[in-house]
């Protein structure tokens, strides 16, 4: 029991010190501000979030197995609430201003709103899986079959802390959404290339086509009809991809408007 208590206190301290360092960095002059900005964009944001989410659970597992994992999660929640309370106390002048959670609670109910928000936290492991997939699975495809490369920092970053009036509880959840939407959007963009390259065939279900075309525009922008033939598919592939092509992107990708790629597709 003493070991678990020590682990809990240690992890809460580790996380609290980390949060304090993030607040301190911008006050350390130009170098501090540059480091702080770097930590807001991939790969810096990946390292920062790993510090607060992945390192504690790893330490907990290694130190005390599944009990340690539970202690690590409890420590993360504790540190999160300590930060929320501290951040709101240091912004008391804004306590009477409009709040997102306050307004939504008045619309759907206080406990319903807060419980729903915390339920979304269960998706954190899923977004980490997506992020690791982007870092590990997709890059080899850019070499082997020349799918387009992406600059992760243009997608995976956080900036809502710069929005005036976001403090404490509202801020931490907005930063979570900030991160997860970038991770998900980049993953979807990568999947567009994968689908259009290997399987450019419309689904037999028109409802599925309708549902998917927002995230996969090529459904209605070039994929072969569900009642088409394999010859139609091979002709489409031949028209969209060439051996000399620099980037073999999905059909609506911006790189296809580049003069180099356009001329290669026409050859």
Q: What is the pLDDT of residue 267?
A: 43
Token output for 129: 């899986």
| 22, 175, 219, 250 from 17: Cα distances, Å | 9, 19, 49, 45
Q: What is the pTM of this model?
A: 0.91
DSSP state, residue 225: P
- Walk along the chain (267 residues) and give the pLDDT tens digit of each residue: 689 999 999 999 999 999 999 999 999 999 999 999 999 999 999 999 999 999 999 999 999 999 999 999 999 999 999 999 999 999 998 878 899 999 999 999 999 999 999 999 999 999 999 999 999 999 999 999 999 999 999 999 999 999 999 999 999 999 999 999 999 999 999 999 999 999 999 999 999 999 999 999 999 989 999 999 999 999 999 999 999 999 999 999 988 876 555 444 444
Give burial (CB, 10 Å; 0-12/13-18/19+) of 254.
exposed
pLDDT the model gives residue 242: 92
Identify any residues that bridge with 157 across adjacent strands, giving them in sequence order: 41
**Looking at beta carbons, which pairs linking 158-166 to residues 24 or more positions away fall under 8 Å?**
158/40, 158/45, 159/40, 165/94, 165/97, 165/98, 166/100
The DSSP code for 52 is: I
Q: Report which of 48, 53, 50 is spatially closest to residue 36, judged by C-alpha positions.
A: 48
């Amino acid at each position: 029991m003493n070991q678990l208590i020590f682990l809990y206190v240690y992890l809460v301290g580790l996380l609290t010190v980390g949060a304090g360092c993030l607040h301190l960095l911008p006050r350390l002059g130009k170098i501090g501000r540059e480091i702080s900005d770097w930590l807001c964009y991939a790969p810096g944001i990946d390292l920062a979030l790993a510090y607060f989410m992945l390192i504690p659970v790893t330490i907990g597992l290694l130190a005390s197995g599944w009990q340690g994992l539970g202690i690590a999660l409890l420590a993360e929640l504790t540190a999160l609430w300590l930060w929320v309370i501290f951040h709101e106390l240091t912004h008391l002048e804004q306590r009477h201003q409009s709040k997102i959670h306050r307004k939504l609670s008045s619309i759907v109910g206080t406990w319903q709103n807060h419980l729903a928000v915390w339920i979304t936290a269960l998706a954190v492991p899923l977004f980490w899986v997506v992020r690791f997939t982007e870092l590990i699975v997709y890059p080899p495809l850019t070499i082997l079959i020349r799918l387009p490369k992406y600059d992760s920092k243009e997608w995976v970053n956080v900036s809502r802390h710069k929005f005036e009036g976001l403090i404490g509880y509202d801020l931490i959840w907005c930063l979570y959404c900030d991160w997860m939407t970038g991770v998900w959007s980049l993953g979807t963009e990568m999947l567009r290339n994968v689908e259009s390259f290997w399987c450019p065939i419309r689904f037999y279900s028109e409802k599925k086509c309708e549902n998917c075309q927002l995230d996969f525009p090529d459904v209605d922008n070039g994929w072969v009809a569900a009642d088409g033939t394999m010859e139609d598919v091979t002709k489409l592939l031949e028209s969209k991809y060439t051996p000399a092509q620099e980037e073999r992107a999905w059909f609506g990708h911006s790189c296809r408007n580049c003069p180099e790629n356009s001329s290669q597709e026409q050859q």
